[in-house]
Amino acid sequence: MLDGTIPPSLGNCQEVGNLENLAEFDASENLLSGELPETLGSCSSLESLSLAELAIKTLNLSFNDFVGEVPTKGVFANASAISVVGNRRLCGGIFQLQLPNCRILRDSKKHKKPLRVIIPIIIPTSIVFLGVILISIFRQRSLKKRSYETCLSGGLFLKLNYKQLLQATNGFSAENLVGVGSFGSVYKGNLNEERNLTVAVKVFNLLHHGAFKSFCAECEVLRNIQHRNLVKIITSCSSLDFQGNEFKALVYEFMPNGSLDNWLHSWEEDQQKKSRRPNLLQRINVAIDVACALDYLHHHCHAEIVHCDLKPGNILLDNDLTAHVGDFGLAKFLQSPLNLQESSSAGIRGTIGYVAPEYGLGAEVSTYGDVYSFGILLLEMVTGKRPTHALFSEGLDLHKFVEMAVPDRVMDIVDPILLHNDHEALANMAEVFSSLKSIKDTFSMAGL
């Protein structure tokens, strides 16, 4: 503990070790007396001076830049012993000092902390809110802009958007669902605003791997082809739904008699539909229609087109039972040797039982693959058995099943419904099978 007077030369800072840059000086709780020397002002770096518990008699703080509330005890209780003139940011103290009230400063201190907490919350929240608004505006504009987008060019195709297709299919209801395929669902729809046209709307499930590619493939094929035995495309729709999700659909002419697969096999689940099964003449006509469609795709388009998924489920029948080949989701163009190489069967996704065996061995896509599928289709139409029938196992398939029966046991493998409906026509059934075998032998000799 120190006692005695404060040395006048303290301001020169020499008595405390020549510390010209002294920033803090604590002389509290001592028995020092006398006056604070004027030379203390020479310590220009002094920021803190503590004189607590000292019996100070006079204190002159005039013309500084002190901030805060002036105490009311000790020397500060005597207005004649203290001077704070020239310190504009002081407040409080005893009444005689005539300083402003400190309430405003206290209030500001109270609000400083909440603001420091609130501002970091408000700014990010505002940015997120603004971002949501901008995204919503962008999506709305995109929806309007893309509502009529189509992959089909030319003025021959209708312009339809998501809302119109939603209304046409009664909200894509289960009642309007007519089929489910590998990449999407098909709904029956009615375009009341467009001359009361009944259509089939194929909605692609874009969450399914390959669906987007299938949509693009069909657009690419259907935009430039037209034949009486191909399903007629009316338009396409590439847009956004009301939730902002990607929406893609193709709109076809509706085929009221459904698929050939239903005509051949629906009786297996519903015995009452046996009478609806096609007779021999109808089956032959369907075979001719499909052959005409393949001939057009393979030889009469600007580039050879391979369907890659020919099967009864992709053959649709109109009111007159005229066959129309549809579903070009796996179709391939064969434009040149280079493109042929690019169209390798890697990733080919046909249907088991109808895909040419060589595709499984890595062979390139070719029109001969469609010819093989067409041959299986003919055998299925005659026998009434799918190539995936439970009968075919342990090396036996539909092709071998028929080959073993020709020519002596043809009647044993014919679809039983033909035995009841076409007694006269069945007399020539052996000739039909002989013709089919002749066609098969011709392709075999050609190494196909």
Least Cα distance to 437 among 389, 375, 381, 367 occurs for 375
Q: Which CATH superfamily is domain 260-445 in?
A: Transferase(Phosphotransferase) domain 1 (1.10.510.10)
Least Cα distance to 397 among 383, 412, 416 occurs for 383
Over residues 41-54, mean pLDDT: 64
Strands (E), 127-281: 177-180, 184-191, 197-204, 233-240, 246-253
315 forms beta bridges with 325
Confidence of residue 202 (pLDDT cuts 50, 70, 90): very high
Cα(231)–Cα(318) distance, integer angstroms: 10
Per-domain residue ranges for the chain? 3-104, 162-253, 260-445
Q: 131: which 2 tokens? A: 């971002």
Contact predicate 376/382, CB 8 Å = no
The per-residue pLDDT for range 363-415, each reduced to its tens digit, is 889 999 999 999 999 999 999 999 999 899 888 999 899 999 888 888 889 99
Catalytic residue positions? 309
The per-residue pLDDT for range 259-284, each reduced to its tens digit, is 999 999 876 665 555 557 888 889 99
Residues 6+ apart with CB under 8 A from 286: 260, 278, 315, 317, 321, 323, 381
CATH number at 162-253: 3.30.200.20
Residues 6+ apart with CB under 8 A from 339: 333
What proportion of the chain, given as a percentage, has pLDDT over 70?
A: 68
Looking at per-residue pLDDT, the higher value among 285 and 41 belongs to: 285
Identify the pLDDT of residue 181: 82
Q: 101: which 2 tokens? A: 């009230």
Least Cα distance to 255 among 202, 210, 205, 293 occurs for 202
Determine the residue type at 334: L
Cα(322)–Cα(109) distance, integer angstroms: 88
Cα(182)–Cα(210) distance, integer angstroms: 9
